[in-house]
A = this chain, B = another copy of it.
Amino acid sequence: MQGDEKNGGKIEFTFRSETGDIKGQMVMQVTELTPDKNVRWQCVDGPPEWIGTNITFDLSQQEDQTIIIFGHRNWRESIEFTAHCSMKWAIFLLSLREYVETGKGKPSPQDVKIDNWN
């Protein structure tokens, strides 16, 4: 992962296999960034199905918990790849919580595998 995480900046994500081969790349443009409140990205490069989609993290504090409402919206159609990505987002959000709570998450390629696409 590299880039400029500030509003208007672009962030590039690269997924590699355990042997280092590039398996996927996507570029997000930051369209909103309000600390402790929300982050919104628009996908500007990557898998064709992702380009133009929006990724949102909306944070709120409810009692002693931080609640994240996550969305990956505006897919042109719901396909098998959407199901794959949806489940992988869940895996990465669980990893994010583990990271925040323990200091150690499971980023790719140590992420939990869910199918034969990764």
Contacts and interface: CB of A to CB of B under 8 A. Distances in A.
A73 to B, nearest CB: 8
Contact of A90 (B62, B63, B67, B87): B87
A116 interface: yes
A2 to B, nearest CB: 28
- Interface residues of A: mostly helix, strand, loop or mixed? mixed
Contacts of A63: 116
A116 B65 contact: yes
Contacts of A83: 69-71
A87 B93 CA distance: 9
A36 interface: no
Interface of A: 62-63, 65, 67, 69-71, 73, 78, 80, 83, 86-87, 90-91, 93-94, 112, 115-116
